Structure 1
Amino acid sequence: MICVYTEERWGDILAAVASVRAQSLAARETLLVVDHNQVLLERLSGEFKDDGRTGAVRVLANAGPRGLSAGRNTGIAAAGGRVVAFLDDDAVAERHWLRYLAEGYADPRVLAVGGRTEPIWASGRRPDWFPAEFDWVVGCSYRGLPAGRVRVRNVLGGNASFRREAFDLAGGFATGIGRDGDRRPLGCEETELCIRITRADPGAVLLIDDRAVIHHRVPAARERFGYFRARAYAEGLSKALVARSVGAAKGLESERRYTTRVLPAAVVRGLADAVRGRPGGGGRAGAVLAGVAAAAGGYVVGGVRARRGGGSFSAPRLTGDTEESEGREGAAA
């Protein structure tokens, strides 16, 4: 499934679809879900004709509210496969991506498998000041994730797959928590879903296999410090919303190790590089500290909003082609 929303990414969308069609393990179908953009919907419908054959591209309109979560839920309800894989609209998958994701499901306990996402920087290379520990800011795998095929709390949404029954157990992606077009760059909808899955089935296994690689385009605007800081702040807001839904113990379980071990090591590494005269060392150390401060600030603001009872989000049950919303109160993001 590829969720799309803007014609500005037309070339990226075509490249994403082409990378799925070139997989060594063929997809049963490719779903393009268009988020409330009639012009793009008509253009894609003209580009891809669904002839009903295996591997066909189907173009769908988001049947829910504007945003990535509702678009995904629309696709899940329409999907015919036993496993649903997600690919960002500005990413391309390596040839064996689906094969490596599918291998994880040989174990019947496995309900989700994610992969590794590598950045394609618009400038041609990583900005000197941009710490690899914060690559999640641009939707990519970050330094600190375990290597190999390992069990994790949650997969990362732009390169992930779920067994169909996971949605039957836990419902779909929560609307009102993740991205909504060009609004503040929120996230964490896949984290919240994965926690719900393991709560519904404590024996469930969620994996990341770093052989399942996609390459994600990072536009120039996202290479700037202003976006870095805004995205880190939005992550804090989102984490507060997740913590309110599933509890801080689960909602921040992985983040504790990240902030107490991975990030201090990143600061030390950056300062050491600065002492040795290597480019960007001091900037990376400073960016780590700024990112932590921004995320912490967002979390505090989100927590205050939660205590005031502002905002809500819903985690829908997916039944056929409809969504039944479970009212889950949360903080406004």
Structure 2
Amino acid sequence: MIDPDRTGEAPYEAPPLPRLTLTVVVCSYTMGRWSDLVAAVRSLQQQRRPAEEVLLVVDHCPELAVRAAGVLAGVRVVANRERPGLSGARNTGVALAQGEVVAFLDDDATADPDWTEQLMAAYRDPRVLGVGGLVRPRWEIGRPSWFPPEFDWVVGCSYRGMPEQGGPVRNFIGANMSFRRAELVAAGGFRPDLGRVGNRPLGCEETELCIRLAAGRPEAELRYEPAAGVSHRVPEGRTNWAYFRSRCYAEGLSKAVVARHTGRGPALACERRYLRSVIPRGMARSIGPRGGGPRELFALTLGVTATLTGYATGRLREDGTLGRLVDSLRRAGGPGGTP
């Protein structure tokens, strides 16, 4: 080993890695979120590390496309080239993005000023295929007293039970995630049979994609970085019991589809830990001095029950059992049958 103090030579320093370019994709489908969309774009324009490109993909709403193109300066506005829905819109964004990294921000979310900076820092490690961050709920009328933080995923936000420190995870939350574009293209993008279409609260396309990416590159890493934060608006319509129940049920349905594509092991590994550890702790907390009491305990129970019911229904649909059962009931109610 050479002692630089003796030779007078400076120690060797590896040259800095080249700066990766970034495209942020925002997908929107309705004029009803115009003010949210403007706020989302403004938060991107105020980043300490500006993205090289901001791409707005309009999902089959010509009026929105025309208005956005005329008002949102510095934003490239394009139409969804695939079937309607969030997956098709995201795939359109990936196909048209010019950046080496593609990040996704929901049209009703705003990014912290250092969001892109924190996301991109993790890509210094070549093993990292994707980086996701913290999603904080921004309640329009305040958090309902009964709404358990273990179920903040219902409103598309980070929930109690997620890692509090950075590290590898199975999948990201869609409102705040990024990937190396080449990896997304090689994997085929998001599945069009998963993902939200309009107001239909289905999802899990991010989960399926992340599992698929990890399966193809087992030595690589999908990294969660809580310092990369965004705030996600939660409107009043998502703070009632009916939405809570239907969203949990839809999550179960979606997980059944994911399990068919990826296998039950990868699709349900995190969910099993959630049910065995996070939910029991949440129930104990709800009846404690700082908990929400019986209504919060009921919400925890309802959420688990609705999700499991949705999953069971989805599994029956996937393997054809439900269809055969309906057919048999129809036949039983026909001529000579028992109604």
Q: TM-score, normalised by structure 2?
A: 0.86
The equivalences for 1:21-32 within 5 A come to 21-32=45-56
Pick from 27, 37, 40 the counterpart of residue 13 of structure 1: 37
Deviations 1:223-253 (A, max 9, x none): 1111000000000000000000000000001
Deviations 1:6-62 (A, max 9, x none): 11111110110000010011100100000000111111111135xxxxxx3100000
The equivalences for 1:152-163 within 5 A come to 152-163=169-180
| Partner in structure 2 of residue 92 of structure 1 | 110
- Aligned with 2:138: secondary structure? strand
Distance 1:29 1:309, change over 3 A: farther
- CA–CA separation in structure 2 for the residues paired with 1:187 and 1:310: 21
- Aligned with 1:272: secondary structure? coil
Distance 1:279 1:200, change over 3 A: closer
Q: Does the CA-based 8 Å contact 1:169-1:200 persist in structure 2? A: no
Matched, 1:202 2:218: yes
| Partner in structure 1 of residue 317 of structure 2 | 305
Matched, 1:79 2:97: yes
Q: Does the CA-based 8 Å contact 2:285-2:291 persist in structure 1? A: no
| Larger radius of gyration between Structure 1 and Structure 2 | 2
- What's the offset of the Cα at 1:182? 1.8
Q: Does the CA-based 8 Å contact 1:169-1:197 persist in structure 2? A: no
Gap runs ≥5 in structure 1:
50-55, 312-333
Aligned length: 299
Answer 1 or 2: which has greater strand percent.
1
- Aligned with 2:76: secondary structure? strand
Q: Does the CA-based 8 Å contact 2:29-2:59 persist in structure 1? A: yes
- Aligned with 1:129: secondary structure? coil
What is the Cα-based RMSD across aligned positions, in Å?
A: 1.4
| Partner in structure 2 of residue 66 of structure 1 | 84
- CA–CA separation in structure 2 for the residues paired with 1:218 and 1:84: 25
Matched, 1:181 2:193: no
Matched, 1:45 2:69: yes
Q: TM-score, normalised by structure 1?
A: 0.88
- CA–CA separation in structure 1 for the residues paired with 2:68 and 2:53: 15
| Partner in structure 2 of residue 246 of structure 1 | 262
Deviations 1:125-150 (A, max 9, x none): 21100000000000100000011211
Residue identity (%): 51
- AA of the residue aligned to 1:170: A
Matched, 1:172 2:189: yes
Misfit runs of 4+, over 3 Å: none
- CA–CA separation in structure 2 for the residues paired with 1:246 and 1:16: 33
- AA of the residue aligned to 1:269: R
Gap runs ≥5 in structure 2:
1-24, 324-339
